[in-house]
Amino acid sequence: MKQADNLLKLAILIVTIIGVIKLISIDDKASNFYEYKSTKINLKQIKQITPRLDYIISYKEDEEKDIFHKYSTSLNKKEINNLETFLIQASSSEYYNVEIVAYMMLDSFKVELFHSKKYMKKPHTYVVSKELLSTLSKNGLDKFQYENLKEIEGKSYDNLESFFDDVIAYAKLRRSEWSKRVIPELGMGTKANKFLSYVDPKTEEKVLEPQDIKNIMQNLKEAFDVYDGLQ
């Protein structure tokens, strides 16, 4: 009887061990696969996993050469923190464009982890600047007209019609096709015009709010965690 009990216990132990081995094997197999858009990727066949971060964060305070420049860097905690600083600066600027993509390269296969919404605020301010005064002077503005227009130098307008009317009135200019095209461009400024040259006129504005920045940061951290979990 005692021998039978021992054999039963041994049989139970063997079955338990086999079950544990099978579970470990199943778990090990599962951990070798990454599921992306209903496709399972065998990680054992992947030689290199590279986390990447691409973004365009462009705003008024940029140097002209950096307007709409696309940056591409490694997705890591330091870069994510740097990005938060840029987002805060952009959100308080007069105009900006923000778009961010976080992804992994599994060898040559791209796995997108996060793609932000496109946040856009267009320039709407017009100023009687030195550039405007100088350009109009080179195009026939006499001394009397120049001095009149100089009275509103530095004045800022949020309304194009008011800006154009004042420039025409102070400079004693005719309303020509040339003035209708050139004066608004000069009032907007070189950087703002370059910014707008990258923007589809049909693009609707979408303001970047503090909550949007929080959501972006959370999504980027989660994207990094996905990569980190595969290491």
Same domain, 113 and 157: no
Same domain, 104 and 51: yes
Nearest to 129 by CA among 59, 180, 178, 185: 185
**Cα 26 from Cα 141, distance rounded (Å):** 82
Same domain, 95 and 6: no
- What's the pTM value of the predicted model, to 2 decimals? 0.78
| Whether pLDDT at 111 is above 80 | yes
Segment 2-11, tens digit of pLDDT: 555 554 454 4
The region of weakest confidence among 91-95, 105-109, 206-210 is 105-109
| Whether pLDDT at 20 is above 60 | no
CB 128 within 8 A of CB 217: no
- DSSP per residue over 2-46, as a string? HHHHHHHHHHHHHHHHHHHHHHHHHHHHHHTEEEETTEEEEGGG-
Same domain, 103 and 217: yes
Same domain, 68 and 134: no
Q: Which residue has the higher pLDDT, 27 or 71?
A: 71
> Residue 166: which domain range?
126-197
How large is the average pLDDT for residues 6-26? 44
Question: Quick check: helix, strand or coil at residue 127?
Answer: strand
Same domain, 53 and 117: yes
Same domain, 115 and 131: no
As beta bridge partners, residue 72 has 54
C-alpha distances (whole Å) from 148 to each of 1, 9, 152 are: 118, 106, 8
**Cα 199 from Cα 207, distance rounded (Å):** 15
How large is the average pLDDT for residues 17-46? 58
Beta-carbon contacts of residue 149 (< 8 Å; ≥ 6 apart): 128, 133, 136, 141, 167, 170, 171
Helix (H) or strand (E) holding 120: strand 119-121
Same domain, 17 and 79: no
Same domain, 60 and 73: yes
Q: How many domains does the chain have?
A: 3
pLDDT at 15: 43
As beta bridge partners, residue 42 has 33
| Whether pLDDT at 37 is above 70 | no
Same domain, 7 and 56: no
CA 44 to chain CA centroid, Å, is 33
Same domain, 62 and 90: yes
Band of pLDDT at residue 42, cut at 50, 70 and 90 = confident
pLDDT at 29: 42
pLDDT at 32: 76
Band of pLDDT at residue 27, cut at 50, 70 and 90 = very low
